């Protein structure tokens, strides 16, 4: 008969096996669809490439879509759901309304992928792959995306309003909001490098260019030329978040910050005499360090609360629950 100690050892072993199996099912992996959808990566990339060839900016929009998904109750494709008369989604939350873009491209990718392997790949994973491809196509780093996320059956406009930081935030609020997602100071600065591509609307940088003093005069002059001081006039006029090269994924975003050419108030907060200055300096000096840290931080962001195992679903159409 087993002694009490070998009995408890056996229980412990069993418990750790259960924990391990449970834990493993909650892990994402790079080869998740290797057998079930071997054509996944080329199918997605082809569609992303065509979309960017048609409009370069959409690569930036697709990267942002992933960020706005992961920060709101995890990377679960919740921000792709359309509002209906009985369902309020995230698309009309303040940070997203008239701003978040690229939904039609996700639709095209989903249709293409459904043709090669129907009912297998989640919309949440498609957004993760699409963000990676967009960065690479625009000149940035490539990495192996971890997969296995499932799609949410619900969305939360309130969570989108609360969890996505506004561009009026000061550094301490930015740090707190990233900390709430388990992301460090370094990861905050590295991820913010996503602003090396894409555009912002005048309404989001008007107060900065007209009222703030920690900005370069010639940069302010250029930005003002397409963004009136008067609220309501040209609110949707656009400027590149990276003043120098808004269609190229490089490290010039950080060089701009050092020259006080951050477009958003929150951008310049990263280099304003505070605890993140040294990271900005490092990335401004070394594009390869930025790329390395950006990749690691994107993978970490992609791990925020995924739905796995039997949670959630694989949506047929990214805009609605099955
Ligand atoms: C505290 C953090 C952040 C704030 C406050 C912020 C804020 C903003 C704002 C206000 C815009 C312009 C929206 C508009 O005017 O319509 C924008 C655009 C953008 N953001 Fe962020 N952002 C943050 C972090 C990030 C992160 C982590 C990423 C990606 C890794 C990212 C990627 C982008 C991209 C690519 C665009 C341009 C999108 C386009 O052109 O369609 N942002 N962001």
Ligand 1 atom closest to 100 (CA): 41
Question: What tens digit of pLDDT does each residue of 236-287 get?
Answer: 999 999 988 999 999 999 999 999 999 999 999 999 999 999 999 999 999 9
Give alpha helix (H) positions in 143-259. Answer: 157-163, 171-179, 185-192, 202-211, 217-224, 252-258
Give alpha helix (H) positions in the chain. Answer: 4-25, 40-54, 58-70, 103-116, 123-137, 157-163, 171-179, 185-192, 202-211, 217-224, 252-258, 265-269, 277-285, 287-302
Distance 155 CA to ligand 1 centre (A): 20
Distance 260 CA to ligand 1 centre (A): 18
Mean pLDDT for the stretch of residues 214-230 = 97
Residue 51 CB contacts under 8 Å (≥ 6 apart), including other chains:
58, 59, 62, 102, 105, 108
Residue 129: left (phi > 0), alpha (psi -120 to 50), or beta? alpha
What pLDDT does residue 24 have? 37
Cβ(165) to ligand 1 under 6 A? yes
Query: Cβ distance 81 to 321 under 8 Å?
Result: yes
Closest of 45, 58, 103 to residue 77, by C-alpha:
103
Question: What tens digit of pLDDT does each residue of 119-151 get?
Answer: 999 999 999 999 999 999 999 999 999 999 999
Q: How far apart are CA 69 and CA 88, in angstroms?
A: 16
Q: How far apart are CA 303 and CA 297, in angstroms?
A: 10
Is the pLDDT confidence value at 7 over 60? no
Label each residue of 251-276 as H, E or C: CHHHHHHHCCCCCCHHHHHCCCCCCC
Best probe residue, ligand 1, of 198, 262, 296 (max atoms within 8 Å of C-beta) = 198
Would you say the C-alpha torsion 103, 106, 108, 111 has a positive or negative sign?
Answer: negative
Cβ(300) to ligand 1 under 6 A? no
Cβ(269) to ligand 1 under 6 A? no
Long-range CB contact pairs, 136-139, < 8 A, 24+: 137/45, 137/48, 137/49, 137/52, 137/59, 138/52, 138/56, 138/59, 138/60, 138/197, 138/247, 138/248, 138/249, 139/248, 139/249, 139/250
Residue 210 CB contacts under 8 Å (≥ 6 apart), including other chains:
224, 229
What pLDDT does residue 243 have? 87
Q: How far apart are CA 274 and CA 206, in angstroms?
A: 23
What mean pLDDT value characterizes the chain?
A: 93
Distance 313 CA to ligand 1 centre (A): 28
Ligand 1 atom closest to 264 (CA): 10
Is the pLDDT confidence value at 188 over 60? yes
Q: How far apart are CA 147 and CA 129, in angstroms?
A: 9
Band of pLDDT at residue 16, cut at 50, 70 and 90: very low
Cβ(67) to ligand 1 under 6 A? yes
What pLDDT does residue 26 have? 58
- Residue nearest atom 33 of ligand 1, based on CA coordinates: 64
CA 199, 201, 205 angle in degrees (round to 5)? 105
Cβ(167) to ligand 1 under 6 A? yes
**130, β-bridge pairs:** none
* Percent of all residues in the chain with a pLDDT value above 70, rounded to a whole number: 92
- The catalytic site residues sit at 68
Question: What tens digit of pLDDT does each residue of 49-101 get?
Answer: 999 999 999 999 999 999 999 999 999 999 999 999 888 999 999 999 999 99
Closest of 157, 176, 150 to residue 266, by C-alpha:
176
Cβ(101) to ligand 1 under 6 A? yes
């Amino acid at each position: 008969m087993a002694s009490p100690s070998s009995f408890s050892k056996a229980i412990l072993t069993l418990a750790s096996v259960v924990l391990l199996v449970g834990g493993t099912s909650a892990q994402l992996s790079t080869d998740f669809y290797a057998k079930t959808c071997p054509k996944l990566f080329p199918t997605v990339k082809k569609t992303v490439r065509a979309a960017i060839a048609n409009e370069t900016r959409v690569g930036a929009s697709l990267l942002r879509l992933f960020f706005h998904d992961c920060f709101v109750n995890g990377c679960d494709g919740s921000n792709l759901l359309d509002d209906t008369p009985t369902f309020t989604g995230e698309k009309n939350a303040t940070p997203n309304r008239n701003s978040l873009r690229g939904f039609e491209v996700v639709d095209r990718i989903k249709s293409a992928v459904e043709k090669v392997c129907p009912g297998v790949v989640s919309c949440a994973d498609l957004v993760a792959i699409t963000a990676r491809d967009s960065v690479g196509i625009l000149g940035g780093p490539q990495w192996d995306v971890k997969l296995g996320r499932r799609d949410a059956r619900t969305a939360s406009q309130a969570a989108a309003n609360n969890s996505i930081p506004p561009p009026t935030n000061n550094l301490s609020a930015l740090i707190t909001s990233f900390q709430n997602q388990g992301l460090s100071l370094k990861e905050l600065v590295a991820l913010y490098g996503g602003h090396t591509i894409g555009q912002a609307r005048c309404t989001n940088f008007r107060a900065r260019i007209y009222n703030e003093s920690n900005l370069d005069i010639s940069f302010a002059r250029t930005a003002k030329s397409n963004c009136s001081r008067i609220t309501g006039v040209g609110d949707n006029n656009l400027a590149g978040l990276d003043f120098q090269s808004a269609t190229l994924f490089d490290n010039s975003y950080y060089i701009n910050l050092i020259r006080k050419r951050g477009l958003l108030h929150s951008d310049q907060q990263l280099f304003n005499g505070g605890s993140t200055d040294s990271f900005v300096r490092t990335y401004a000096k070394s594009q390869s360090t930025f790329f390395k840290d950006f990749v690691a931080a994107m993978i970490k962001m992609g791990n925020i609360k995924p739905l796995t195992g039997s949670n959630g679903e694989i949506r047929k159409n990214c805009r609605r629950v099955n």
